[in-house]
Amino acid sequence: MLAEVRMDALKIRATFVRDARLMMSYRLVFLLDWVAIVASVASLWFVSRLVPASVAFGGGHVATYFDYAVINVAFLTLQGAALQCFENSVRNDQVYGTFEAVLATPTRVSLVVLGAGAWAFTLAAIHIALYLAMGSLFGLHLDRVNLATLALFLILAVTATVPVGIIGAATIVRFKQAAPTQTIFGRASSLLAGVLFPISLLPLWLQAVSWMLPITHALSGIRGAFRGASPADSWPDLVWLAVATIVLLPISLVVLRGAIARAKRDGTLGQY
């Protein structure tokens, strides 16, 4: 059992190293990502100069628009990683022609797909760190962070959004084309998850839709952590994310397994 866990860890590490090497082989794209982060933080700072501090940005406490928006935009990258990494990994392996070669090894399919998250979330963490570092240069307040709350919400933000990404990967395996998950969740989040403005500004029916998005609760909790809120203070969001994880994660793995079984029956595993 322990040997198997160790073997799985080694395989995830190998996938991490592969993805890091592939990413580093596109150095310009890698650098442009960093430039985009700097530009994004600077833009938010200029916009924040037009928007006065408000309790709407601080969950009942007065907070600046800059703090609100930088934290949201920074941590939204976690959702982007979750939605894209599995889907892109399967798609890239199909296009490179490596998918069948990988699946012919004694490695579980779920490990192959989930392993793609290792580098993607590491990169997302680096991007978040850069957002926060840049933000602090522009005056982002990082002095009241509750690390326990932040850690809890980071974990749950990942686990609650990963299933959507896994279902996207299953769609690629089954139908050979991208699922609309990236579009629906990615675009909808910008509008509905309170990334650039508080959801209280939305009509009530859109607020209801917003409530159903995992990232809404994740960002709400993370903003709370930066204000010093304890896990107990943020329990509704914690419970929402935990329940979403418990319900969605097994479902997504079953969907992925079913898609792969179907592709094996149809002989289309490596096709795209």
Query: Binding residues for another protein, per CB under 8 A?
Result: 7, 10-11, 13-15, 17-18, 21-22, 25-26, 96-98, 100-108, 261, 264-267, 269-270
Q: From the CB of 82, what's the least distance to another protein, in Å?
A: 23
Contact by Cβ (8 Å): 77, 222:
no
Minimum CB distance to another protein, residue 27 (Å): 11
- Report the half-sphere exposure of 153 (CA within 13 A, side-chain side): 31
Q: Minimum Å distance from CB 1 to another protein?
A: 15
**Local structure of 63: helix, strand or coil:** strand
Which residues make Cβ contacts (< 8 Å) with residue 91, sequence separation at least 6? 172, 178, 272
* Minimum distance, C-beta of residue 118 to another protein, in the bound complex (Å): 13
What is d(CA 54, CA 174) in angstroms, rounded to the nearest whole number?
A: 48
Q: What are phi and psi of 212, to 5 degrees?
A: -85, -5
With respect to another protein, which residue has the nearer C-beta, 104 or 232?
104
For another protein, the closer CB: 203 or 267: 267
CA distance 197 to 37: 19
Contacts of 109 (CB under 8 A, 6+ apart): 103, 256, 257, 260
CB of 186 to another protein, least distance (A): 25
Specify the residue, 144 or 176, whose C-beta has the smaller distance to another protein: 176
- With H, G, I as helix, E, B as strand and everything else as coil, classify residue 11: helix
